[in-house]
Structure 1
């Protein structure tokens, strides 16, 4: 009786594992569909904004309307700008290669427990740097679906140099002109783009690899999700437009100059390795690579990853695309022309920027990816820019940074302490919010000593022509790891289990 029971128990465990795996994959698919749907819902949500503006205009008394006789034309211009942005967004989605089959049936997991799938952009298959669906790039400047891990087993070196893959130039000039000069709504633009781009070099959107773009799979998502897409458009300006150069000079230039000075004798044959957690759309990580470092960006947000994949891998020339990033706010505008002004991106061609072999982007949660024994003592430098306050537990971030740095390695940080989870009310979200003084004290505990410390005044994704400019007085420091005092301790997840 006992062997049978034991065998039955093993089978039950296997069934439970398969069921749990299927449920997790379904959750991943639903979460990723929601993010893609946020991108696809951009034109409709933007069109609704314009309709709201029009309703308010119609409510004005005739005498007041007469003072704003140019407004109907402004609304037309807004719709054209939305159409251009929508075309850009759809091209971003066409270039994306999901790590999962998003067209598969997920009814198996429908139920109350899925009604509020957390929109944390975390797909468990891309959390671990050594997982079978790791998102680390090894064959492109950036990819969201590589089958290889970032590091060879037992090796401290980044994978083979990225090979930039580009698509054949596609002549979309006629279509762009129709978008710019016509009166097509944003929603119609998406449909037209779907038809006209079906046979381009990115692949037919009706083919099996693009069935996840089928409108029948599109979800109705909260407006807050669409706002994240608008935020991505502003981030594109910060990282990849000439208009963002001032902000990049404020934030990235001090970091790049510090790295250049600290590793002045770096070898081209064996370049130092630098990790950039919270890499966003990848510009800082790319600039570090161009300085002669093996550079790896790490990013958690799939909103960011979908967009950075397009810019890093699929943009073929500088200034290839036009976007209208400022159209979604009527506040603090100096003029309609400022609000509706175009911005061309990218300001440089990433593939021609002069990257060092080994540049990569790795998707996943910083703690889960880098709190791994294979990451101990791997990195010569860790650069954090507007990142450390994204932590639920900033102490955990500091401990992991110390663990993954080599003895004598440096941690360069620039950013505020605007803790992202500090104001999450009514949810069971952990948030440990340290003062700068406590951050220093914790860093000293984990083997760091300060070499430089100052304050940098900067903005973040700010419209440079807006009447409102939010400024940070960001902490900027260089710390060096004294010793490997934490190296032989097990990862935090093991100690906390």
Structure 2
């Protein structure tokens, strides 16, 4: 191969990597814009409520004379949620150079990759009535492992807990939104958080922010204990049963793909496991990093997660009720040294040969149906586990990409539970335990509508490979 040809290939690879990073920065900016647009989009909702109220006949207005006061209360709740969001963003340390020029995204197209960059309306964070998923398809880096290395690692007694205490935003008497106070809130923030530079985002992106607020309740609020007991408790009990003689000097390792806001991974670490949570969603990673690294005490924040839907509310009081978080102080929870959160796509990060046979356990909770190809997920889980390692799973089969019709570059393999188990047996798993667990996902416990899943719960063990068995027999 000529020197010119080698140089040309290197230039092409450099161009490709530059474009990939620019695409990821573009996607991350869009996600940050979604967070920053939360108060403005929420204010538009309240204005819509007010407009509908103004259209009522006078006699009906008189009957519902309390609604204007409720609208002001909604604005105050929005401002309180916004304070938390803004402080969370200020603490975020992007793993990318956010000041780089992303205009290249508009002029260049990748010809050698099939990766997708966050323009899809995946069902990951729609209303609680429609979907449970939380692994949002926003931005795949070409080298997710590199991104993972740059994300914060959380370790006992080494947490960055210099949290930021914010004051509540004010709402003027005329009912203006708290958007006008953002400049003051960000007076000392990095340029990439300047609200005036943020782009308008689709409502679906703001809906994902609202989904994150509900996920905070599930993982980090006292009110979420019901769901955590439904979903996390059986997993934790099974891990304790499978690894009864855990050694502090040589703790077993556990991987949690689709870790979301990190509570399950933290609980597993507190049991005495070296645990790594893996999450693809920047929406999730920004929030989990703040809660894990920056909150200083339990109950530090108060949020209002249920204000964005007037449907199925038992009372205005229920809809406007506050929720304190976090319910525990993560840094004081007793995590095992080595606890970490790894950012990146599960397939791209963990298909790496260096990961093969390195994990004692893999825990999947409401995760396996987030796959384009669930067979690939199962194959990778099998490769990750040591011989004799266990795979504990809990969740339904809703299938994240099942409704992506009309998109040629999309795929979705949707198998029945029976077929999923058959594939698992093909990749060397033996079924040890199986049952059905009734569970909810980010459901408002005081709503008149309660979607429940009859989730599959199993423990499977990876059989020793034939080569390993023959090796043992000869030694």
Same fold (TM over 0.5): yes
Cα drift, residue 56 of structure 1? 0.7
Q: For 1:79 and 1:307, how far apart are their aligned partners in 2?
A: 22
- Select between 182-191 and 307-316 the one with higher mean Cα deviation: 182-191
Q: CA-to-partner distance for each residue in 1:440-473, whole Å, 9 max, x for gaps?
A: 1111111111111000001100000000000000
- Aligned-CA RMSD value: 2.2
- Deviation of residue 194 (structure 1)? 1.9
Unaligned runs of 5+ in 1: 142-160, 199-204, 488-497
Residue 321 in 1 paired to residue 301 in 2?
yes
Whether 2:83 is the aligned partner of 1:66: answer no
Task: Give the aligned partner of residue 236 of structure 2.
Answer: 256
CA contact (8 A) 2:298 2:327 kept: yes
Alignment of 1:346-357 (within 5 A): 346-357=326-337
What is residue 86 of structure 1 aligned with on the other side?
82
Is the Cα contact below 8 Å between 1:278 and 1:387 reproduced in 2? yes
Aligned-partner Cα distance in 2 for 1:382–1:133? 18
Match of 1:412, SS?
Answer: strand
8 Å CA contact 1:80, 1:183 repeated in 2: no
1:460 matches 2:441: yes
**1:480 aligns to what SS in structure 2?**
strand
Could you tell me how far apart the structure 1 residues matched to 2:419 and 2:467 are? 19
* SS of match in other structure, 2:372: coil
Asked whether the equivalents of residues 380 and 405 of structure 1 are also in contact (C-alpha less than 8 Å), the reply is yes
1:289-309 deviations in whole A, cap 9, x for unaligned?
000111110001111000000
Q: Give the Å deviation of 1:182.
A: 10
> Secondary structure of 1:411's partner?
strand
TM-score, normalised via structure 2 length: 0.89
The 1:133–1:417 alpha-carbon spacing in structure 2 relative to 1, beyond 3 Å, is closer
Q: CA deviation at 1:177?
A: 7.6
Equivalence for 1:294: 274
Give the deviation of 1:186 after TM superposition: 2.8
Q: Secondary structure at the match of 1:249?
A: helix
Structure 1 residue 261: deviation in Å?
Answer: 1.2
Aligned pair partner of 1:163 in 145, 155, 158: 158
Equivalent pairs, count = 445
Aligned to 1:118: 118
Query: How far apart, in 1, do the equivalents of 2:285 and 2:157 lie?
Result: 17
* C-alpha contact 2:80 2:169 (8 A) present in aligned 1: no
> Is the 8 Å Cα contact of residues 324 and 343 (structure 1) preserved in structure 2?
yes
- Equivalent position of 1:188 in the other structure: 180
Tell me which of 24, 30, 37 is aligned to 1:28.
Answer: 24
For the 8 Å contact 1:86–1:189, the answer to whether it is kept is no
Match of 1:482 in 2: 463
- Equivalent pair of 1:403/1:486 in contact (CA under 8 Å): no
Please name the residue that 2:131 is paired with.
none
Deviation, 1:183, is: 5.5
Q: Structure 1 residues 110, 217: CA separation in 2 closer, same or farther (over 3 Å shift)?
A: farther
Deviation at 1:12, TM superposition (A): 2.7
Structure 1 Cα separation of the partners of residues 172 and 301 of structure 2? 13
Q: 1:307-333 deviations in whole A, cap 9, x for unaligned?
A: 000000000000000100000000000
Of the three residues 43, 47, 52, the one matched with 2:48 is 52
Asked if 1 retains the 8 angstrom alpha-carbon contact of 2:217 and 2:224, the reply is: yes
Contact 1:393/1:430 (8 A) holds in 2 = yes
1:127: which partner in 2?
A: 144
SS in 2 for 1:377: coil
Superimposed CA distance per residue, residues 414-463 of structure 1 (whole angstroms, 9 cap, x where no aligned partner): 00000000011211211000000001111111111111100000110000
Instruction: Look up the match of 2:312.
Output: 332
Pairs within 5 Å for 1:269-418: 269-418=249-398
Residue in structure 1 matched with residue 8 of structure 2 by the alignment:
12
Cα distance in 2 between the residues matched to 1:165 and 1:304: 18
C-alpha distance after superposition, 1:225-264 (max 9, x if no partner): 1100000000000000000000000000000001011111
The 5 A counterparts of 1:236-255 are: 236-255=216-235
